[in-house]
Amino acid sequence: MPRSPVYYSSTTSTPKEIDLRAELQGTLFGAFDEIAKGRVGLYREMRRDDSDKRVVCECKKNVSDEAEKDFLCRPCQGMGFLWDEYRIVYYKDESSRTPTGELNFYIKYSEELRDEDYIVQVKLDVDGNPAAPVQREYLYKILKAEAFRSDNGRIEYWRCKTQEERQWSVWYGVNSRTNRPMIP
Ligand SMILES: [Zn+2]
């Protein structure tokens, strides 16, 4: 009767299979031997048209050149393009930060992420929930969203290489520390 071995001497390198989904789940939400390091934030998905071009905001159409930065535009908050935001949980890897403000984020396999969208860090309350009304603290542009797959092809987790944006664009229109008008 033919048998197939469970363990055998291999001449090729076969790294031990670990469940990377479970690993990241533990990092984000905690495990018996691990405190949760995930942080609630927002995923800003740029709205795109049928030909996959970002949808230009009215404020950018109406001025002759760039979006007017001294004018508060509520729909786009100064980006010049329309977007939608979704709640996500991420792990921000500060150890990956470069002097020019590039750094990596790790996000659960089940999210759909793409280049040129944004990760938004928001102010949290004492329980770790987003403060209301929302206060956007930092904005990170996704330079490269990479889905890491195991040998069988399933997505284990996402790693996003990002660029921290200059802070004025985040606080624009929502920060009382500037002289800019607040959103009513
Ligand atoms: Zn606008």
Q: pLDDT by residue (tens digit) across 20-50?
A: 999 999 999 998 888 899 999 999 999 999 9
Average pLDDT along the chain: 83
Please identify every residue whose CB atom is under 5 Å from ligand 1, which is an ion.
57, 59, 73, 76
Q: pLDDT by residue (tens digit) across 126-155?
A: 998 999 888 989 999 999 999 999 988 999
With bands split at pLDDT 50, 70 and 90, how would you rate the model's confidence at 173?
very low
pLDDT value of residue 13: 54
Instruction: Pick 172 or 1 by higher pLDDT.
Output: 1
Distance 64 CA to ligand 1 centre (A): 13
Distance 152 CA to ligand 1 centre (A): 44
Nearest to 24 by CA among 111, 95, 86: 111
What distance in Å separates the CA atoms of residue 180 and residue 49, rounded to the nearest whole number?
31
Distance 75 CA to ligand 1 centre (A): 5
pLDDT value of residue 149: 94
Distance 60 CA to ligand 1 centre (A): 6
What distance in Å separates the CA atoms of residue 39 and residue 140, rounded to the nearest whole number?
14
DSSP 29-56: H-BTTB----EEEEEEEEPB-TTSPBPB
Distance 166 CA to ligand 1 centre (A): 18
Distance 159 CA to ligand 1 centre (A): 30
pLDDT value of residue 179: 37
Torsion of CA 157, 163, 168, 170, to 10 degrees: -10
